[in-house]
């Protein structure tokens, strides 16, 4: 018996199969999708079995497999197919695709000690009366009685009574101990949540999906914020599991934490496994095994949960379809929705994508009937969408209100007097964005990156938000010893200003700095939900899918912030962020108010937010995309050329661009090379090339060629990003 093995290395040069001979004693264990240990170049490596065959034509010496690693198959047929799809679509190596499908606890190369977790239980070895008669102390009797009561006792609990008594009882063989495997994430007992009666709009959407449960059909569930999309997902999933099938639900990393998961667990109890990056390796490994052992039918998770090894999949649901978090920003640069489309297609099952602000790409597909659009125009219980007011900050500054406008201040006061809650959005963390000397012009810049450092007041540090470089602020300008000035506004400073303006209220701040610790995000959400705090301020994190019934006012401090990002999607991102943030206001019974502070009150995108009109935004933005030849009218591939050496990097980038121009179709457009937005990160120079194309048979073969070429280049690297979300 011979097998073809793919090495478990990310090295693109070695991304091919190698043939090995199977010694007879291992033959029984060999199966496609298991991993083996093999000799390679005088080393011992691991690899995936991709095929098994009886003979081998090669006439040189073939080495023997050393060992089979897995008892069970780790890459089933479906995952193997998805791997090939990813290799073809994203030009990544097959082994890098497989690597992200498996929990890292499985990877021996990491030398992790993550393993199954065991709990030791004590139980009776002899009859109860006899046991009691053999006890020589009060505490031994307590332990025996404890075991009698429930039939068993956790050893750790018994040890709390007395370690020596436990040992004596064990030695005398009065009790015995048994190790049992336990999962790290235990489902705490919860209230059973009851299914809601769907309203008319929900029912229409539900019926449309359920009618197509046995077919491959793609749906875009376009529902305003608070329209009850999650309830539809849950009821559809109930149908699916009643048919003995399974379901994957993807949500953005950030909304995974408290509410969404607990809603699902309240409805489906132990039938849910959860996968996200907040879990420890051990927890991930356990959740993964619940899936492979077929103990759960529902998997909820972030991006990589699309690879959950569920069998008999019945539906894939992706909530907040517009979220950037579905795209992986390093190799393999896959988009979970594209993988979901493929997986739904090969399983012949429906795919449901939900959003209040669908991406233009997806929306455009509904007009071509590639997706069926299901609309929820109303909030559950017919609550109205909030009223939106724009404030021209140029006028406010003249009045001396540079950060919080007069109107926002009065609205905050009004909300407070009604004992309602307030959310303030400022999409920039830290205290001040730059510190500058007005005398000599000195600014603190990152020595590794082409960017200014952000001042964080809590520990007086200056930090680079790209590479993490940290330094400390001097009292005066390091160059000329004059005073230093703060410019720009971050959430930390906003917090200080709000506290000064409203000294009696309780304020919470949520941003990357206050949510670093495990569970801190949940803690902030729970604290705010409890009603003990009046105001929550933070970055975009606060705008994502949170449901705070007592919030009646949302203030956007600098609505222009993301409009100024140099990316063709900045308008779309801004609309989505502000529309979603606005959606946090007035979710229950109260009519919400949204105050947008801006220096561009006539900006068309902000006008669309003000009117809460996705349709207007869609028409406006599609028109621009058409004129500028951007998606959804054109497809994009971005090529990133990076190097420690500037000259070399620039030269290679130009060569690549010229080569592309020569080789690909003349209906395609090659832009660049240009320097990246942040030109230098971590001392690495970055150039970008963007290819816009519609139909181009020559493009992918040329990209593959370039990719191969650069694998051998030690000085300059090339990374290809197919359908990039940021350029």
User: Rule CB under 6 A: which residues touch ligand ADP?
Assistant: 196-199, 202, 223, 225-231, 380, 547
469 binds Zn ion (CB under 5 A): yes
Give the shortest CB-210-to-ligand ADP separation in angstroms.
16
Token pair in block for residue 260? 């969404």
Q: How far apart are CA 512 and CA 701, in angstroms?
A: 41
Of 40, 342, 466, 700, which one interacts with Zn ion (CB under 5 A)? 466
> Residues near 684 by Cβ (< 8 Å), separated by ≥ 6?
642, 643, 644
Q: Are 271 and 241 a contacting pair, CB within 8 Å?
A: yes
Give the shortest CB-660-to-ligand ADP separation in angstroms.
43
Give the shortest CB-321-to-ligand ADP separation in angstroms.
12
Give the shortest CB-198-to-ligand ADP separation in angstroms.
5
**Of 305 and 681, which CB lies nearer to Zn ion in the complex structure?**
681
467 binds, among Zn ion, ligand ADP, none (CB under 5 to 8 A by kind): Zn ion
Output the CA–CA distances (angstroms, integers) from residue 284 to 102, 246, 346, 380, 704, in the order listed: 10, 19, 26, 35, 34
Helix segments in 514-569, DSSP class H: 520-529
225 binds, among Zn ion, ligand ADP, none (CB under 5 to 8 A by kind): ligand ADP
Q: Are 530 and 549 a contacting pair, CB within 8 Å?
A: no
Of residues 426 through 465, those in contact with Zn ion by CB under 5 A are 446, 448-449, 464
197 binds, among ligand ADP, Zn ion, none (CB under 5 to 8 A by kind): ligand ADP
198 binds, among ligand ADP, Zn ion, none (CB under 5 to 8 A by kind): ligand ADP
Residues in the chain: 727
**Of 4 and 321, which CB lies nearer to ligand ADP in the complex structure?**
321
Q: Are 713 and 653 a contacting pair, CB within 8 Å?
A: no
**Of 262 and 677, which CB lies nearer to ligand ADP in the complex structure?**
262
Of residues 517 through 556, those in contact with Zn ion by CB under 5 A are none
**Of 448 and 717, which CB lies nearer to Zn ion in the complex structure?**
448
Q: How far apart are CA 455 and CA 502, in angstroms?
A: 24
DSSP 171-200: HTTSEEEEEEEE-SS-----PPPPPPPP-H
466 binds, among Zn ion, ligand ADP, none (CB under 5 to 8 A by kind): Zn ion
**Of 384 and 440, which CB lies nearer to ligand ADP in the complex structure?**
384
Q: How far apart are CA 238 and CA 272, in angstroms?
A: 12
**Of 199 and 613, which CB lies nearer to ligand ADP in the complex structure?**
199
Please, what's the b/e burial string for 589-620 (b: 16 or more CB within 10 A of its CB; e: otherwise)? ebebbbbbbbebbebebbbbbbebbbebbbeb
Query: Shortest CA distance to 669 belongs to which of 700, 641, 635?
Result: 635
**Of 231 and 411, which CB lies nearer to ligand ADP in the complex structure?**
231
599 binds Zn ion (CB under 5 A): no
Give the shortest CB-228-to-ligand ADP separation in angstroms.
3
Paired with 595 in beta bridges are: 389, 555
Q: How far apart are CA 113 and CA 92, in angstroms?
A: 29
Give the shortest CB-307-to-Zn ion separation in angstroms.
32
Q: Are 620 and 585 a contacting pair, CB within 8 Å?
A: no
**Of 197 and 712, which CB lies nearer to ligand ADP in the complex structure?**
197
Give the shortest CB-354-to-ligand ADP separation in angstroms.
7
The helix (run of H) or strand (run of E) holding residue 717 is strand 716-722
Q: Are 219 and 354 a contacting pair, CB within 8 Å?
A: no
568 binds Zn ion (CB under 5 A): no
229 binds, among Zn ion, ligand ADP, none (CB under 5 to 8 A by kind): ligand ADP
Whether the upstream peptide bond of residue 632 has omega within 30° of 0, thus cis, is: yes
202 binds, among Zn ion, ligand ADP, none (CB under 5 to 8 A by kind): ligand ADP
Paired with 275 in beta bridges are: 301
**Of 230 and 405, which CB lies nearer to ligand ADP in the complex structure?**
230
Question: Using CA atoms in the order 413, 512, 328, 75, what is the torsion angle rounded to 10 degrees?
Answer: -110
Give the shortest CB-549-to-ligand ADP separation in angstroms.
8
Residues lying near Zn ion in the complex (CB under 5 A)? 446, 448-449, 464, 466-467, 469
């Amino acid at each position: 018996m011979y097998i073809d093995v793919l090495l478990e290395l990310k090295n693109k040069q070695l991304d091919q199969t190698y043939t090995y001979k199977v010694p007879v004693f291992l033959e029984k264990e060999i199966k496609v999708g298991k991993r083996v240990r093999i000799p390679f170049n005088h080393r011992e490596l691991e690899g995936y079995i991709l095929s098994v065959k009886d003979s081998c034509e090669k006439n040189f010496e073939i080495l023997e497999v050393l060992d089979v690693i897995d008892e069970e198959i780790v890459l089933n047929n479906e995952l193997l197919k998805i791997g090939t799809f990813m290799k073809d679509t994203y030009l990544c190596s097959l082994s890098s695709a497989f690597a992200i499908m498996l929990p890292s606890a499985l990877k021996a190369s990491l030398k992790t000690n993550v393993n199954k977790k065991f709990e030791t239980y004590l139980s009776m070895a002899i009859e109860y009366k006899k046991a009691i008669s053999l006890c020589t102390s009060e505490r031994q009797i307590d332990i025996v009685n404890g075991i009698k009561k429930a039939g068993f006792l956790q050893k750790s609990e018994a040890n709390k009574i007395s370690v020596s008594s436990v040992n004596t009882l064990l030695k005398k063989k009065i009790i015995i101990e048994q190790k049992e495997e336990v999962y790290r994430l235990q489902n705490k007992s919860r209230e059973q949540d009851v299914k809601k009666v769907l309203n008319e709009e929900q029912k229409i959407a539900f019926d449309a999906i359920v009618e197509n449960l046995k077919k491959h059909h793609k749906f875009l569930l376009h529902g305003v914020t608070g329209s009850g999309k999650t309830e539809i997902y849950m009821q559809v999933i109930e149908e699916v599991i009643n048919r003995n099938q399974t379901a994957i639900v993807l949500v953005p990393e950030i909304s995974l934490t408290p509410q969404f998961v607990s809603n699902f667990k309240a409805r489906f109890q132990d039938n849910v496994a959860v996968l996200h990056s907040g879990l420890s390796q051990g927890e991930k490994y356990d959740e993964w095994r619940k899936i492979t052992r077929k103990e759960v039918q529902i998997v909820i998770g972030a991006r990589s949960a699309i690879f959950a090894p569920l069998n008999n999949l019945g539906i894939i649901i992706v909530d907040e379809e517009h979220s950037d978090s579905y795209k992986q920003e390093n190799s393999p640069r896959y988009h979970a929705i594209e993988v979901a489309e493929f997986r739904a297609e090969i399983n012949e099952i429906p795919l449901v994508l939900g959003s209040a602000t669908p991406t233009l790409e997806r929306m455009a597909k509904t007009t071509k009937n590639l997706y069926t659009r299901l609309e929820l125009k109303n909030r559950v219980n017919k609550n109205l969408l909030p009223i939106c007011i724009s404030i021209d900050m140029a006028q406010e500054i003249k009045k001396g209100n540079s950060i919080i406008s007069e109107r926002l201040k009065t609205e905050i006061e009004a909300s407070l007097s009604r004992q309602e809650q307030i959310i303030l959005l400022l999409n920039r963390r830290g205290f001040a964005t730059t510190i500058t000397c007005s005398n000599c012009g000195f600014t603190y810049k990152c020595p590794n990156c082409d960017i200014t450092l952000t001042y964080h007041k809590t520990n007086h540090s200056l930090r680079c938000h790209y590479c993490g470089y940290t330094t400390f602020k001097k009292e005066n300008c390091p160059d000329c010893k004059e005073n230093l000035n703060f410019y720009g506004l971050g959430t930390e400073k906003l917090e200080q200003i709000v506290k000064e303006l409203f000294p009696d209220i309780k304020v919470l701040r949520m941003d990357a700095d206050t949510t670093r610790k495990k569970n801190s995000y949940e803690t902030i959400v729970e604290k705010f939900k409890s009603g003990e705090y009046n105001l929550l301020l933070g970055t975009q994190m606060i705008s994502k899918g949170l449901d705070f019934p007592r919030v009646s006012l949302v203030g956007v401090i600098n609505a222009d912030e993301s409009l100024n990002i140099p990316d063709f999607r900045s308008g779309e991102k801004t609309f989505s962020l502000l529309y979603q943030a606005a959606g946090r206001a007035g979710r229950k019974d109260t009519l919400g108010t949204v105050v947008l502070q801006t220096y561009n009150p006539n900006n068309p995108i902000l006008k669309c937010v003000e009117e809460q009109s996705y349709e207007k935004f869609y028409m406006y933005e599609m028109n621009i995309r058409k004129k500028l030849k951007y998606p959804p009218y054109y497809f994009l591939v971005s090529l990133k050329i990076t190097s420690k050496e500037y000259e070399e990097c620039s030269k290679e980038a130009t060569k690549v661009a010229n080569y592309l121009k020569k080789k690909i179709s003349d209906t395609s457009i090659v832009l660049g090379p240009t320097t990246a937005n942040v030109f230098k990160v971590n001392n690495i120079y970055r150039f970008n090339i963007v290819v816009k194309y519609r139909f181009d048979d020559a493009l992918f073969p040329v990209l593959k060629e370039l990719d191969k070429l650069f694998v051998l280049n030690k000085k300059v690297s090339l990374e290809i990003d197919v359908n990039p979300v940021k350029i």
